[in-house]
Structure 1
Amino acid sequence: MAGAAAFMDGELGTLVKASAAVWAAMAYARMAAADIRPGSGRLLALLPVVVLFYGIPFAFSSTTFRGSSAFFLCWLGTFKLLLLAAGRGPLADPSLPLLHFACSAALPVKLRQPPPKSKLKQDPPSAPAAAYKILVSGAVIPLIIYGYQFKDSMSHWQLLAMYAAHIYFSLELLLAAVRILIHGALGMEMEPQVDRPYLASSLRDFWGRRWNLMVPAILRPSVYNPVRACFGDAAGVMVSFLVSGLMHEVIFYYIMWRPPSGDVTGFFVLHGVCTAAEAWWGRQAGWWRPPRALAVPLTLAFVGGTGFWLFFPAMINGGLDELVMQECQGLLVLMEQAGRRLAGAGAK
């Protein structure tokens, strides 16, 4: 218990230092963007921040913090800075306050002003909805972690399904926590990040409008639009998926300290080709299209089947499941220790 507590204390201390470094870097990036016109000069000025972003994940020891910081900073944050260098993207608004600028750069969010009061009467507030997701995910994830103890008696498909559920609820938990942080710190709302992916009726619907929406939101202006303008829609789609696959490989490297196998990139390239083919088919007048009642299960079967074939095995072969299980068990020990302390304090 003492070892787990010391480990977590060290990680939290590193998180505080990393957050301070990111905050200072964002202040510098904001000043550089204000003083230097878009172009190569601004890009050169922002490169030290990009280098910092790629270095921060190395400071953490846990897979959770390494993976999250790699996703937030190395991928999304870096792409936002590259867009800023060109005078585009969510950071290019000169009226954006520094706090909003830093949060938008370092977190997987797309900020929006809170809706008017008349709209609030129609739509439920996001903070309670996010709190509900935290409660649900916080209840399900420990059950999944407990189930890992019986992995040796599970079939291959059962284990992969458990990994898929773990990723889904972990992402829900992470984004809901960020939503509450943004709502409390800035008084602003986040754009929806996940929109019921289990209702996707096509690959374009799944990847572009329902799953991890901050990724297509940043790939669209940085990769898809420029490539499409030069080579057409199909090329834009396939290059976007290729870049997504490569960035997933980078994140996996930070998490597992192993060179990429290429399977994850293959997964996204396959989906890019199929998404482009799907769009081409949809443009053909008079060609058969499956009804929604059939399209939804077909889409989910394809995403799940190819994920079980290429995506999740890359995690298992790299030993990610064992690393996550060890860290989660350590977290459960800390939670048990905290519960005993609270019970002891209540008894007194």
Structure 2
Amino acid sequence: MEAVEDELRNFIKVMITVSLSLTYCYFICSRIPKGKFRLVSVLPVISIFAFFPLILSSFFLQFYFAPCIGWLANFKLLLFAFGKDDNISINPSIPLLDFILVTIFPIKIKQTKAFQNNTNKESLLSNTGKCVFKLDLGFFINALLWSFMVQMYVIYKEHVSSMNPIVVHFLYSSRMMFGIQIQFALIAALAKLFISQELEPQFNNPHLSTSLGNFWSKRWNLMVSNLLKSTIHEPTRSLFIPVLGRRWAIHPAILATYVVSGLMHELMHFYVGRTWPTWEVTWFFIIHGVCVTIEVETKKKASKNGWKLHPIISTPLTVGFVMATGIWLCYAELIHWGADAREIEEYVALVDFVKHRLRIA
């Protein structure tokens, strides 16, 4: 019980400090002309945000919340420094609370015409004046599948003396993929209670992906994909266009994007394991980046000849490749650190803590 209380206190302290830091950015940094001077003004905040996840000891917070602060918020602040983020930079009338929530969490306000013209917000308020808390069918399906994978994982570990690593990695990888989607959906639903605006979709049926490019850019974790596109892909492509031309500049941009994504995922793993990275996750993204560049050229040539794989073939190949490489490279390190067992133990401890508090109340 004490461990849960201590971690909750640490989390509250982190959130208060993060909110105060972003309040400084909202009132002070936003008054500084965009560019290198505003960048200098936000660099202390970026440094603090990179350090904060090390204060947390819970696997759940390290894996699911730390990337929001150490990665996403910092990348958004970089865009904010140069006036490139269309939520917190281009719209000067955004309220402080909206600014903080959009910067911290993997959400993005939907770009309606009213929003772009800085007119009235697109309200989500009901007739009673309360904001709608809404979770779609996909959330409940993912929650059901996540729960099933957790139960299967626990049963397998309890009843099988010699566990097959492939089975363990498959069950854990599957549950993490569903868990990430659940987490993002809950954050978006809660954020709507305060932001009172429509938010961009975070996922788009990744199980229906017809290619790796389709999976990464249009279906899986769209908040991170859009952020990487603005911070890495577009600047890199602009840099290489004078050298390679518009036709070929896309390839170093793709590779740079996947390399940076891999490095940031290594940082996430460092927050969890606190050990020097093995670079397996980086190789996962490098492999996918190389495959996407090959895919881009193959699709161009195939389209000229009128060739196209039917989704019945391309979808299983795409999802199968993502799962196979993910099981092989993405989650092995976390399992080696015992993160799979830590997560379940924390769920049990949290449930016991809530039950204890309810009995006291």
Q: TM-score range by the shorter chain?
A: 0.7 to 0.9
Would the aligned equivalents of 1:238 and 1:269 in 2 still touch at CA under 8 Å?
yes
Question: What's the TM-score once normalised by structure 2's chain length?
Answer: 0.84
The amino acid of 1:72's aligned partner reads C
Question: Do the aligned partners of residues 287 and 202 (structure 1) sit closer, same or farther apart at CA in structure 2, a change above 3 Å counting?
Answer: same
Partner residue, 1:335: 351
2:214 is the alignment partner of 1:214: no
Determine the structure 1 residue equivalent to 2:308: 289
Q: In the alignment, is the contact (CA less than 8 A) between 1:46 and 1:85 conserved in 2?
A: yes
Query: Which of the numbers 331, 348, 352 marks the counterpart of 1:312?
Result: 331
CA distance in 1, matches of 2:142, 2:5: 23
Pair 1:7–1:126, CA change in 2 (3 A)? same
User: Hey, what does 1:100 align to over in structure 2?
Assistant: 98
- Per the normalisation by structure 1, the TM-score is 0.87
**Matched residue type, 2:291:** C
Report Cα offsets for 1:225-249 as digits up to 9, x if no partner.
1111222111111110000000000
| Contact 1:57-1:67 within 8 A present in 2 as well | no
Quote the offset at 1:152 in angstroms.
4.6
8 Å Cα contact 1:63/1:256 also seen in 2 = no
Distance 1:61 1:50 in 2: 21
Equivalent position amino acid for 1:290 in 2 = L
The residue number in structure 2 matching 1:122 is: none
| CA displacement, residues 13-67 of structure 1 (integer Å, 9 cap, x when unaligned) | 1111111111101110112332211111111100111011011111111121122
What is the alpha-carbon distance in structure 1 between the residues aligned to residue 357 and residue 75 of structure 2?
Answer: 44
Instruction: Give how far 1:253 is off.
Output: 0.4
- 1:40 matched to 2:36? The reply is yes
1:19 matched to 2:15: yes
Q: Within the alignment, does 1:163 sit opposite 2:161 as a pair?
A: no
Check conservation: 1:141, 1:169, Cα contact below 8 A. Answer: no
**Contact 2:133–2:193 (CA<8 Å) still a contact in 1?**
no
2:66 is equivalent to residue 58 of structure 1: no
- The answer to whether the 8 Å contact 2:64/2:180 transfers is no
Task: Determine the structure 1 residue equivalent to 2:118.
Answer: none
- After TM superposition, the runs of 4+ consecutive aligned structure 1 residues lying more than 4 A away are 113-117, 336-342
- 2:279 aligned partner: 262
Q: Report SS of the residue matched to 1:111.
A: coil
After superposition, residues 143-158 of structure 1 pair within 5 angstroms as 143-144=151-152, 146-147=154-155, 148-150=157-159, 152-158=161-167
Give the whole-Å Cα distance in 2 for the aligned partners of 1:215 and 1:297.
24
Q: How far apart in 2 are the matches of 1:54 and 1:144?
A: 35
1:36–1:139 distance in 2 versus 1, CA, 3 Å: same
Does residue 129 (structure 1) correspond to residue 136 (structure 2)? The answer is yes
CA distance in 1, matches of 2:29, 2:46: 14
| Residues 152 and 170 (structure 1), Cα distance of their counterparts in 2 relative to 1, 3 Å cut | farther
> Do 1:245 and 1:269's aligned partners in 2 also have CA atoms closer than 8 Å?
yes
Deviation digits for residues 173-199 of structure 1 (CA, Å, limit 9, x no counterpart): 211220221111222232111221111
| Aligned residue number for residue 107 of structure 2 | 109
More helix by share: 1
CA-based RMSD:
2.5
Matched AA of 1:323:
A
Code of the residue aligned with 2:164 in structure 1: it is: S
Match of 2:129 in 1: none
Amino acid at match of 1:69: F
Instruction: Name the CA distance, whole Å, in 2 between partners of 1:71 and 1:27.
Output: 20
Cα 1:337–1:254, aligned 2, differ >3 Å: closer, same or farther? closer
- In structure 2, the partner of 1:120 is none
2 CA distance for matches of 1:140 and 1:52? 38
Tell me, in whole angstroms, the C-alpha distance in 1 between the residues paired with 2:181 and 2:234: 28
Q: Return the letter of the residue paired with 1:10.
A: D
- The answer on 1:253 being equivalent to 2:270 is yes
* Counterpart Cα distance in 1 of 2:350 and 2:328: 35
- Corresponding position of 1:244: 261
What letter is aligned with 2:239?
C
Amino acid across the alignment from 1:128: L
Residue 91, structure 1, aligned to residue 88, structure 2: yes
Matched with 1:280 is 297
When residues 204 and 330 of structure 1 are mapped into structure 2, their CA distance, relative to the original with a 3 A threshold, is closer
User: Across the two proteins, how many residue pairs are aligned to each other?
Assistant: 331
Tell me what 1:77 maps to: 73
